[in-house]
Chains A and B, each alone.
Chain A
Amino acid sequence: SQQGEEDPQALSIQEGENATMNCSYKTSINNLQWYRQNSGRGLVHLILIRSNEREKHSGRLRVTLDTSKKSSSLLITASRAADTASYFCATAAYSGGSYIPTFGRGTSLIVHP
């Protein structure tokens, strides 16, 4: 099963609105990362937040992390049509003696111009 699960699975908003997507995970983590994927392409790293951080900003992106709830959220402010993409959270799950990078199923964001 996936270590991280994004919610909602799909989000449709108008340009200029804010978009919030959430990620829940199961085991303890050292860091959590968010990636973006445009249709059928590779993933692009957006932001990394460490387990001892609660909030991090990068441009129009704001990420929060609540380790007590094992959850993270990604907020995109003043969205643009170019933000249309799938967004994934990624953690490392310990399995079989090593750390396995694991990704959630993603949130599909559509921003209407």
Chain B
Amino acid sequence: KAGVTQTPRYLIKTRGQQVTLSCSPISGHRSVSWYQQTPGQGLQFLFEYFSETQRNKGNFPGRFSGRQFSNSRSEMNVSTLELGDSALYLCASSIRVAGQGGTDTQYFGPGTRLTVL
């Protein structure tokens, strides 16, 4: 099976702009999670989608949003970019959503490196 793919791999934006990142999960995986990784904060959970519904959300401002399509592909959007949004954005797919059984094994994409100038 093909792995998780993310596009674009690199992105340079300026403050105030908005950006959309895309993620295609492994075929058959219905859960897609997004993470922000920075040297200072480490790996921070943004949100998780399952069957086109947001199931979990991390502690990020409303400028960060996402959606999932019927084919499980997911996009995340960041509006009004700030310098602090510069990070590696990782997408991960899994068969199940995080629940009482704990997190399912997640398969990560290579990430999108976003630089905000």
Nearest CB in chain A: distance from B92 CB, A: 7
Tell whether B45 is near chain A: CB-to-CB under 8 Å. yes
Binding-face segment, B12-20, B70-78, B93-101: B93-101
A40 and B42 contact, CB distance less than 8 A: no
Count contacts on B: residues with CB < 8 A to the other chain: 28
* Cα–Cα distance between A45 and B107 once the two chains are bound (Å): 7
Tell whether B109 is near chain A: CB-to-CB under 8 Å. yes
A interface footprint on B98-117 (CB within 8 Å = 1, 0 otherwise): 11111101111111010000
* Interface of chain A: mostly helix, strand, loop or mixed: strand
B109 and A92 contact, CB distance less than 8 A: no
B98 and A30 contact, CB distance less than 8 A: no
B interface footprint on A86-113 (CB within 8 Å = 1, 0 otherwise): 0010111000101111111110000000
- With a cutoff of 8 Å between Cβ atoms, the chain B residues found around residue A106 in the complex are 42-43
A-B CB contact pairs (8 Å), 25 listed: A30-B100, A33-B103, A33-B105, A41-B111, A42-B4, A42-B90, A42-B108, A42-B110, A42-B111, A45-B105, A45-B107, A91-B102, A91-B103, A92-B103, A98-B55, A98-B98, A99-B56, A99-B99, A100-B56, A100-B58, A101-B103, A103-B35, A104-B42, A105-B42, A106-B42
Q: Which residues on B are within 8 Å of A, measured CB to CB?
A: 4, 33, 35, 42-43, 45, 48, 55-58, 88, 90, 92, 98-103, 105-111, 113
